[in-house]
Structures are given as C-alpha cells and as structure tokens.
Amino acid sequence: MLTLVIFLPLAVALALPGVPRRAVPWTWLGVSVVELALVAAMWAAHGTGGGTSFETDARWIPSVRAGYHVGVDGLSLPLLALTAVLFATCAVYSLRNTHRVRAFAMLFLFLETVCLGLFAALDLLLFFVFFDLSIVGMYFVILLWGHEDRARSALKFFLYTFLGSLVLLLGFIGLYLGADPHTFDMVELTRTPPFAGSPGLAGLTLLAVGAGLAIKTPVVPFHTWLPPAHTDAPAAGSAVLAGVMLKMGTYGLVRIAMPLLPDAWRRYALVMLVVGLVSVLYGAFVALAQDNVKRLVAYTSVNHMGYIVLALGAAGYAAGDTDARRLAVTGAVTQMVSHGLVTGALFLLCGVLHDRAGSYDIGRFGGVARRAPVFAGLVAVAAFASLGLPGLSGFIAEFQIFAGTIGTGTAATAVTGALAVAGILVTAALFLRVLHLVVLGQPGELTPRVTDVRRPELAALVPLLALSLLIGVAPRVLLDTIEPLSAAVVALVGR
C-alpha cells in the first residue's frame, strides 16, 4: 500500500507522454487527489497509536545492509499528508498553465514520489536517494519554469544543497560504519545507536549529518541559497520547495540525528538552541528589510524553521522536564506542517501577484484590496497565519515550541526560548508592513494590473488556509497523531 502510494505518481509520470495534451492537467490533478485519498486512508488506518504502520522491508543492497525499508508513523503521516495536499494544490493551481505542461506535470509527479518516499524511508541510503533526487527535480523546475535570473539561482541551489547532501552522505556512511554490525537500516540503528563508546566520532558524525540537514532546512548561516531560489522559481515550485522540501531537513533531524545519535545530540543541544535562536531572529530581521515580497517570505521561512531547530535543541536537554520536551517536539512537528500549509499559500499568492503585474516589489503596489478583494482577504489570512495568530495553525505550533522550550526549565532553554519569543513581534511587524504596502492604503503604480484570484487559484488557496484554520481551532486531530512519536523521540534522546 505504502509502496503504491509512493510510486503511483512516478508511474503516472512515465505514462504521461501517452496522454493527450488536453488531458494532462486533469490526469495530474486526478492522481494527486487519489494520492491524497490514499494518504488519508493510511492516516485513518494508523490512527493515533504509536509504532510504525504499513512497514515494508525488502532487500536492496544486502552486502551493505541497505534495504528498501519504508513505513509510516506519527512523524511521517502528517508530512506525507502535507506533501499530498501541497502537490494536489499545485496541480489545481497549475490548471491554467500553458508552458510545457506535460513536462511540468511529469516533473511534479516525479517530485511527489521523491518527497513521499523520503518521508516514508526507514533506511538511510533510501532516504538519501530521495533527498538527492529532490534537489535534481527542483533544479529543473527552477531552471525551466523560473523567471529572471533563473539559471544562476538554480545553479546556486543545486550546488549548495548538493554540497549539503554529500556532507549528509558522509554522515550517513559514518553512521553505517559506526554501527555494529554495519547497517543503513534506521530501525536497527535506533535500537542500538552507533558509536556507543566513542563520543568524538559520534560528534563528528553529528556534525556531518547536522550540517547536511542544516543546509537543507536552512538555518543561518547556510540559508543564502534560499532567497534567490524562491525568487526565481515558479509559484508552484516555490510552494513545494518551501512547503515540503525544507521539511526534509528538520524531518531528518527528528528521524535520524536525534534517535541515532542521542549522546551527541544531548552534548551539543546548546549549539542547536543557539543556531535555532539565531535563525529565528536573523531570519525575521532580514525579512523585515526586504522589498521583494518573495524574498521576504523566503526569509520568514528561515525564521519559522529556526523555531523548529530551537525546539529540537531543547528536547536534547535530558535534565529538563520530560513533558515539556515532548511539548517542544510536538510543537516542532506541528510547525513543519503549519509552515508547509501557510508558506505554500503565501508563495502561491506571490505567484498570483507576479502573474498579474510581473513584479514582486512591494513598493510598487498598494490598495490592492479595492481591485482584488478576495485576493486581499486571502493575503491577510495567510499573513496572520504566518505571524502566528491563534485560531490558525502557526500559533498552535509556536505556542508549543515556546512553552516546551522555556518549560524544559534549564537556564539555557529558558533564556533562548524567551529571546526567541521576540521573533513573533518582528514577524508581526513585517507582515503588517506587507499588508500596509501592498493590500491597504492608496493604489500604487502596478495596482491597476492586479485582478482578483481566478477559480483554480482560489481552489488551490482555500484548502490550504482552511486546513491551517482546522489545525488552529481543533489541533487534536494532528497532535494526537504526533504525540506518541514525540514521546518516543524524547525517550530515545534521553537514553
């Protein structure tokens, strides 16, 4: 079942050249909806219990004990669902596309397989395969459907994240070699963490794994590939890149770095805290100074992902309160989902703006609410969701992160957590600035070109924001699934 879910998009992508051109967008949409239904069914079947469901473990490269090992648990399911939702959204959003439709659909279906596979992988090598392919796929999305300086941005994206992936690979090989017996299987590695007796090597491995994932996340100072990649990527590409692919980094931290290197994680938890804090504040402040709205949203991603790293760092303080650390991990996972939904929506909205006016410069708009009231309303909801307004998903995530991080109760976590709270003020300021300059006030130079959202755009945006609202008002749907996983992760880190 899980294998079907992962590879169905790829199979359809391979069959797509045989589909008549008119039917391509609808085929794409159809597959995405089927995927969504399948993931929802898996979630329903898994329920809110702990443990792994839908596990498949096939031999792949037995001589290095790497296998095709996949399964879903409380961490994968929300992210699989997020992936399915965002890709379906992109399919809807792109219904009106005319430029190389078939190739676009094929590439996105390929990327969907890659993302689903990554979040289901329980084998380091398999994880890496998907990790690397996501870079290749996204490179072509930016290169072929981007705008402005796309070749340069795409190259920078490829080189930078590819470097990260190779560092990650070195870390994985380190884990493989550190385990006794050598294996790439995450479940086995979790059972008996590698480097039992050599903290130095464990630290180096954590450095490699952490750096590799940090580039992907991205955290300061490895984030500079993100703004150009987003600025020049097409809207759907940005939505997937920010919504799904950035999560690969933090997902890796929760799935691999924490359970597999618990000692090292505890030892260097302060580093994670500080890196998280710096990302939160730095990302927010730099975003505040941006005039290009896509760059601005890109930097808020740095800010939002910083919260996750902060919370995961706090979870490494074994001396701290266990319940609080669980709260932090749950918050971190919630934030992954929330950021995916909200930032995905924000990037699609940026895409609408660019589609109409051909510019991202917030200084050249103003009073868009008059010409495009629905668009303005969506921007406002998305902006408030992103700045953490209660009732929308961002608040639930960030509240848990703050409460969990500070609540861990050590001096370091309390201080960094309390300082990180300042991030929400700066984020609020920058989103109000955007609303003020683009949506409200007097019409600007490009405002006459802006028309309201069209039906496919609306159909793509509303579900994202509705889900954000659902999580914000009734978070238990999500949190009950995550909770057993966070308990397990906290226990694993604490051993």
Smallest gap from Cβ 289 to another protein, in A, equals: 4
Q: Which of 28, 258, 475, 485 binds another protein (CB under 8 A)?
A: 475
Q: Which of 289, 319, 466, 477 binds another protein (CB under 8 A)?
A: 289
Range in contact with another protein (rule: CB under 8 A) among 30-38, 88-96, 221-229, 253-261:
221-229
CB nearer to another protein: give 25 or 137: 137
Tokens of 183: 């294996």
x-marked contacts with another protein along 307-336 as a string, rule CB under 8 A = --------------x-xx-xx--x------
Range in contact with another protein (rule: CB under 8 A) among 54-62, 190-198, 256-264, 351-359:
54-62
x-marked contacts with another protein along 237-276 as a string, rule CB under 8 A = ----------------------------------------
Smallest gap from Cβ 136 to another protein, in A, equals: 6
As a whole number of angstroms, the distance between CA 146 and CA 144 comes to 6
Q: Are 227 and 298 within 8 A, CB to CB?
A: yes
**Rule CB under 8 A: which of 158-217 touch another protein?**
158-160, 162-163, 166-167, 169-170, 173-174, 176-177, 204
Smallest gap from Cβ 319 to another protein, in A, equals: 12
305 binds another protein (CB under 8 A): no
Range in contact with another protein (rule: CB under 8 A) among 36-44, 192-200, 255-263, 286-294:
286-294
CB nearer to another protein: give 253 or 302: 302
x-marked contacts with another protein along 10-49 as a string, rule CB under 8 A = ----------------------------------------
Q: Which of 52, 238, 290, 447 binds another protein (CB under 8 A)?
A: 290
List the Cα angle 445/448/449 in 5-degree steps: 100
**Rule CB under 8 A: which of 122-151 touch another protein?**
125, 128-129, 132-133, 136, 140, 143-144, 151
Smallest gap from Cβ 358 to another protein, in A, equals: 21
CB nearer to another protein: give 354 or 370: 370
367 binds another protein (CB under 8 A): yes
Smallest gap from Cβ 356 to another protein, in A, equals: 20
**Rule CB under 8 A: which of 382-441 touch another protein?**
384, 388-391, 395-396, 399-400, 402-409, 414, 417-418, 421-422, 424-426, 428-429, 432-433, 435-436, 439-441
**Rule CB under 8 A: which of 63-82 touch another protein?**
63-64, 66
Q: Which of 6, 31, 244, 479 binds another protein (CB under 8 A)?
A: 479
Residues touching another protein: how many (CB under 8 A)? 94
What residues pair up with 317 in beta bridges, in sequence order?
Answer: none
